[in-house]
Amino acid sequence: MRIFVVSIILLIANVLQSTLFDIIRIRGIGPNLSVIIIVSFALLRGSKEGAIIGFAAGLLADIIFGVSRGYLALIGACIGYFCGKFNKDFYSENLVLPFMLTLISTIVYGLAVSLPFILRGKLNYIYFIKDIILPETIYTMILSIIVYQIVYVINRAIERNENTNRKIF
């Protein structure tokens, strides 16, 4: 059940991002929805599930749009794993922690994605940070406030469902 719901969410997020979000780009920069989803699920469910969801989300993006497979999956798994570490000292109504973790994760994600450019000899790092990573981070953070609420509601619904199922058997 949980696997099914989460994979549907990841698919919807990916489709939304590649179609509808093209309209809401500001000066060519769009938000990073998959990072928000990885961070919120990792926070709500812990390291193990965070890493798996991160890996799945990254692999999905890799397969759909990437040339090489596995790089975004690697980044996603790491982000999910380390955000899941904060699961213990986190209560669901706390909004500051997902906000801050989204900020850090988006920056890390951006830096990691820019690594292939540097290996290929595009060394204008200031441009990458100033014109791509920073606007993307701000946009993603604003969006994370909304998306986190949705993920929280969905997660609570799944948990309630799992509990009732357990009582029956």
Partner 1 sequence: MKSSKKKKNKNILIILLVAGTIGLVLTIGRRYQIKVIENTMQYITSPIQRGVNLVFNKTGNITGNFKDIHELQASNEALQKELDQLLYDNNILEQYRDENEKLKELLDLAERHSDYPSKGANIISKDPGNWYKVFIIDQGEKAGFKQDDAVLAGGGLAGHIIETGPLSSKVLAIIDDRSSVSATVLRTGETGILRGDIELIQDGFCKFEIDIESEIITGDQIVTSHLSDIYPPGIMIGVVEEVIISKNGLSQYAHVRPLANFKDLKQVLILEKKGS
Site track 107-146 with partner 1 (rule: CB under 8 A), x = hit = ------xx--xxxxxxxx--xx--xx---x----------
Contact 60, 10 (CB under 8 A): yes
User: Which residue lies nearer to partner 1 by CB, 48 or 160?
Assistant: 48
Binding flag, residue 37, partner 1 (CB under 8 A): no
Phi, psi of 29, rounded to the nearest 5 degrees: -110, 130
Binding flag, residue 73, partner 1 (CB under 8 A): yes
| Least CB distance to partner 1 at residue 159 (A) | 19
What is the binding site for partner 1 (CB under 8 A)?
14-15, 17-19, 21-22, 27-30, 32-34, 46-48, 51-52, 55, 58, 61-62, 64-65, 67-71, 73-74, 77-78, 81, 113-114, 117-124, 127-128, 131-132, 136
